Every structure is written in C-alpha cells, then in structure tokens.
Chains A and B, each alone.
Chain A
Amino acid sequence: MGMDRREFIKWCSLLAVGSMLGGCRKLPFVGDAAKKDLPSLKMFEAEVRRAMSKPSHRMELVRVPMPGRLKTPGASLENRFGMAIDLDACDGCGKCILACIQENNIPLVTEDEAAKGRFMHWIEMRGGVPFMCAHCGNAPCERACPTGAANHTPDGLSAMMYKRCTGSRYCGANCPEHARKFNFNDAVQQGLSLKFNDKVPVRSKGVMEKCSLCLHRLQDDRLEVKTAGGVWRGRGVNTACAEACPKKAIVFGNWLDPDSPLVKVARRRDLYAPADLAGFDPSIVYMMGGK
C-alpha cells in the first residue's frame, strides 16, 4: 500500500458514503421521480378482476356457535359488531371487494406484487369465498403487537391504529389466515392511491392495515346518537361490502342486539368459520345450509 493512514481513512469514508448514497437511488441530485398521475377507477376494477382470476383454494370451514359477548374484561354488554356471509347466496362476483376499495381508499399494488398475487385488498376471494379479517375476540395478532396499535374495542372490532404502528409486521406473521396487509409502497407518492372517501385516512408507507368493519361509519353513527343522548346499538349502520352485495349475502349487525338483522338471519342458519380461526372467537362467520 502506497498511501498513508490519513489518505486511507479518507478513501474509505468516501467509499462508504458513496455506497450508501448509491443505494438511495431517489435522492434529488439523482433526479426525483415526478409525482405520478392519479390512477383511474378502471385500474382498480381491473386489479380486482386480476385478483379474482388468481387460483386460490377454499379454506377449511368448521361449525361454530353464534358469537356472543366478548370474553375480555370491560367488554360491552350491548354491542358486538360482526358480519355473517351467506355462502349459499354468494356467487363470487367481487362487487364487495370494489366497494371496500372505494370506501377505504385501498391502494393499487405494483406490477411485481400483482404478478405474485399479493394485493392490498382487504377482502379476498378464496375459492369463491370472500374472506377478510375476522375480528377475532381473542386475536393472536393483537397479543403480538408491540406498540398496542392492534387492539380490540369493547364493542368487538379489531381496530388498527395506523399512527401507532411501527411496522414490525409481527401481527401479520401471527395471523393464521394472512388477513393483514402491509403497505410496502408509499401509495400516494407512487401514484397507486386514489382518495375515494374523505372520511377514511390514507395509510402511510410502512404500516399494516386490514378490514376495519367500516369503523368510520360506526364512529360517525355513535357520535351522532350519543350527541342526541341515546343508547347506541349501531342500528342502521351498514358496512360498504354489505351494502354493495347484490345478493345481500353479507349481513352486518350487532351480535348482542336481538333486533339486529344479523342476529335475525344467523339464528336460523348453520354458522361456520375458517378452521384456523375458530378457536380465536371470530366475529365474522359464514352461513351455509341449515335453513
């Protein structure tokens, strides 16, 4: 080596800095990628069709009793929200998926991810069965979340607090049915996101998301009823997917309210849940037969 120590250190530092900067390819001096155009609704529809065309196998379903009160301390005695999906009526049209996308500002994914079949949709078709986060009463994902971003409301929702998420993805690893989606991309910056609905925040890069049971609709309704001084049972609220289903196969309601359309329908049918989730007290169940 012909150089002395000082020069050696200088060259090493330059090499180090250069390497790291070389890795950060989108720095301003390299040329910032121009903010892309907004996607169109057609692109979202096309992506839903693409997602549904991917082969997927049906989940194993087992009989479960009708969900009741949450077993956690402090659970509400009046409200436990959930859904029942009638598999005899569902024909796998996918309108629920598109409605969910528009209600919750769900972004598109890049071509790589789409090719692998990894989409951000909160509802997925698995062998013709629409599947979304089951809002388990005893959720393994909530136990695992280090920051408390994944938690359970007293009225039965498995809530996801995006600002408290640090992106460890431990919850995602702990969901037996892979219901959770991670924001690998900065959707807004990459032109993958369209803000369909002002009431729902667009998630930033690096946080987990999943079906929220239209928490924003429930919140707005609760606030209005409580402002008027009433007791809130969530009557009259419907999720976007339930509204969109042309066969009325998805029914949303309150498991603890005997007048809820959910209870009225589910009472007469056999209820099923994915085998992997049945032990975790899911709030979203399937209905087959048993009429």
Chain B
Amino acid sequence: MKWSLVALVALLCAFFLADLLMNRVAEPTRRGDGSAVPFMHAMHGDSIGLSCSACHTGAYAAAKAYLPSKAECMDCHRLPLTESAGIEALDSALAKAPEHPWSKKSSLPEHVVFHHGVHHSAGVACADCHGTGYGADVYGGERFDMRTCLDCHRGKTFKDKNFKAAVYCAACHR
C-alpha cells in the first residue's frame, strides 16, 4: 500500500514538472538602454491625465501597442516640467538618450494575430492582461499563453465584464 502511495506522488510530481518544462510561459525580453532614462510609470498615468496610448501609441487602435521613442518623450519634456531638483538630471539624461530607448523582442509566435485595438474597443482594460505591476515599475510576470487567452474568450474569466469574444481558431490564427 505504501508503495502505491509513493508511486502516485511520483506520478503527480513528474507530471507537473514535465508540463512546467515543456510549456514555459512567454517571458517578454526587454532590451535597450532603458536604464539611461530613469522612467517612472506612476508619474505618467492618471495623475497627469495621460492614457496608456499617449506613449504606447498603438494601444487603442493598432495591432501592437509599441514603446515610445525619444521624440515622443520630448514632445512634453522639451520644457522642464517641474522645478524640482531632479529635473535637471532627467533633462540631461533625456538629451543623451538614444532615439529608441526601449525595445523588446516579440514573444508572440508568427502564426498568432493579436490586435490591441480590437480588445480595447471590446472594453478590455490594459490592466486586465498586463496587471498593475507596471504602476510600480515592476515589469514582466504576465501570463501570456493560449490557455489564458482562451479562458477569457470562452467566458471563464472576467465573467462580470461579459465580453463577447470570438472562439473559432481562425479569429486569432493564420
């Protein structure tokens, strides 16, 4: 009897281990010299009336949400925005920053079609998928795998929001 219990435990552990290893969740890899520009999400959000798409220009209508280029930062930061002490350091960092301070490698496979705009129009909030960690400048940790997408598309999660999503394969794959 004892051996059968041990065997059962071994089976379960092996199962979960194998599943974990086979299906690592997509971890967005961020590169670019983002450290050159000390950016704080908290200062760029609702407090100054900016929506996500102000910097992530594609978030509401395009397929990709994009990351801002330096020119986009300079649209506002062309002037010193506050009189606090740090602003000089910020402005000099901005002046020295490269044209595209941030970029990332897409973790989306080629055969998947994801369109940010259509999700925004359907009422999905940015935080619903991306969480709220970015508010404290904590990135990554979003669970982007097909199952998570399907759970929402099939109505298992976000039940209160009553999304009407497409559930056939060709809606998102090509």
Please tell me whether chains A and B touch each other in their complex, using a CB distance cut-off of 8 A: yes
A226 adjacent to B121 (CB under 8 Å) = yes
A227 at the interface (CB under 8 A from B): yes
Closest to B63 in A: A223
Between A151, A157, A216, A219, the greatest number of chain B beta carbons within 10 A of the residue's beta carbon is seen for A219
B121 adjacent to A216 (CB under 8 Å) = no
A151 adjacent to B118 (CB under 8 Å) = no
A161 adjacent to B169 (CB under 8 Å) = yes
A153 adjacent to B173 (CB under 8 Å) = no
A154 at the interface (CB under 8 A from B): yes
Interface size on B, residues (CB 8 A): 18
| B113 CB to nearest chain A CB (Å) | 6
| A69 CB to nearest chain B CB (Å) | 16
B174 adjacent to A201 (CB under 8 Å) = yes
Residues of B near A212 (CB, < 8 A) are 174
A223 adjacent to B111 (CB under 8 Å) = no
B168 adjacent to A151 (CB under 8 Å) = yes
| A77 CB to nearest chain B CB (Å) | 14
Contact with A along B154-174 (1 / 0, CB 8 A): 000000000000001111011
The complex places the Cα of A62 from the Cα of B115 at a distance, in Å, of 42
A219 adjacent to B170 (CB under 8 Å) = yes
The complex places the Cα of A199 from the Cα of B173 at a distance, in Å, of 12
The complex places the Cα of A154 from the Cα of B173 at a distance, in Å, of 14
Closest to A202 in B: B110
| B170 CB to nearest chain A CB (Å) | 4
Residues of A near B113 (CB, < 8 A) are 219, 223
Partner of A153, one of B61, B120, B122, B168: B168
A157 adjacent to B170 (CB under 8 Å) = yes
The complex places the Cα of A215 from the Cα of B172 at a distance, in Å, of 11
B117 at the interface (CB under 8 A from A): yes
List chain B positions with a Cβ less than 8 A from chain A.
61, 63, 109-111, 113, 115, 117-118, 120-122, 168-171, 173-174
Given A163-B111, A201-B110: A227 in contact with B61 (beta carbons within 8 A): yes
B115 adjacent to A223 (CB under 8 Å) = yes
A-B contact pairs, 20 of them (CB 8 A): A148-B169, A151-B169, A151-B170, A159-B168, A159-B170, A161-B169, A161-B173, A163-B111, A163-B173, A200-B174, A201-B110, A201-B111, A219-B170, A219-B174, A223-B63, A226-B122, A227-B118, A227-B121, A228-B121, A229-B121
Mostly, the B contact residues are: loop
| A78 CB to nearest chain B CB (Å) | 14
Closest to B174 in A: A216
B111 adjacent to A215 (CB under 8 Å) = no
A223 adjacent to B117 (CB under 8 Å) = yes
A215 adjacent to B117 (CB under 8 Å) = no
The complex places the Cα of A46 from the Cα of B122 at a distance, in Å, of 47
The complex places the Cα of A212 from the Cα of B171 at a distance, in Å, of 13
| B82 CB to nearest chain A CB (Å) | 36
Closest to B115 in A: A223
Partner of A215, one of B115, B120, B174: B174
Residues of A near B118 (CB, < 8 A) are 223, 226-227
A184 at the interface (CB under 8 A from B): no
A159 adjacent to B169 (CB under 8 Å) = yes
A227 adjacent to B117 (CB under 8 Å) = yes
| A182 CB to nearest chain B CB (Å) | 18
B170 adjacent to A161 (CB under 8 Å) = yes
B170 adjacent to A227 (CB under 8 Å) = no
| A90 CB to nearest chain B CB (Å) | 28
Partner of A227, one of B110, B115, B171, B174: B115
| B102 CB to nearest chain A CB (Å) | 24
A164 at the interface (CB under 8 A from B): yes
Residues of B near A153 (CB, < 8 A) are 168-171
Residues of B near A162 (CB, < 8 A) are 111
